[in-house]
């Protein structure tokens, strides 16, 4: 069965810190891995990764995928209170049309 495991489950840091969130997966016929940020309601899209070793970057956020070791990391540098959210990792495969989510990492950034 496909599995997505995120760690840590929660993390508390202070503004300015750098954080690394982890997502490991077991997926048959892997197609892509996506990162989302969920604040109050809907998950908002951050990154989609399909190839190993290619870093995707957006401002202070970056992410990379390792298809050999079956994991991805999401880095946030110089964290701000507005980064406080649950960060979700999701993977999908070529076999079907659904997307399997991890339980998320709850990040709290204190001023």
Partner 1 sequence: EPEVTQTPSHQVTQMGQEVILRCVPISNHLYFYWYRQILGQKVEFLVSFYNNEISEKSEIFDDQFSVERPDGSNFTLKIRSTKLEDSAMYFCARRTGNTGELFFGEGSRLTVL
Q: Any contact of residue 88 with partner 1 (CB under 8 A)?
A: yes
Q: How far apart are CA 107 and CA 105, in angstroms?
A: 6
Q: By rule CB under 8 A, what string of x and - marks binding of each residue 38-57 to partner 1?
A: ---xxxxx--x---------
104 contacts 22 by C-beta, under 8 angstroms: no
Query: Residue 81 carries which DSSP code?
Result: G
Q: Any contact of residue 68 with partner 1 (CB under 8 A)?
A: no
Q: Smallest distance from the beta carbon of 18 to partner 1, in angstroms?
A: 26
Q: Smallest distance from the beta carbon of 81 to partner 1, in angstroms?
A: 22
Query: Residue 32 carries which DSSP code?
Result: E
Q: How far apart are CA 60 and CA 62, in angstroms?
A: 7
Residues found near partner 1 in the complex (CB under 8 A): 31-32, 34, 36, 41-45, 48, 88, 90, 96-104
């Amino acid at each position: 069965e496909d599995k997505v495991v995120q760690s840590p489950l929660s993390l508390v840091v202070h503004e300015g810190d750098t954080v690394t969130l982890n997502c490991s997966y077991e997926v048959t016929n892997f197609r892509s891995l996506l990162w989302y940020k969920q604040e109050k309601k809907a998950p908002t899209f951050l990154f989609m990764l399909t190839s190993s070793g290619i870093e995707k970057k957006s401002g202070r956020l970056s992410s990379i995928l390792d298809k050999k070791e079956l994991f991805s990391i999401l880095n946030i540098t110089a964290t701000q209170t507005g980064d406080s959210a649950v960060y979700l990792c999701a993977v999908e495969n070529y076999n079907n049309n659904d997307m399997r989510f991890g339980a998320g990492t709850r990040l709290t950034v204190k001023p």
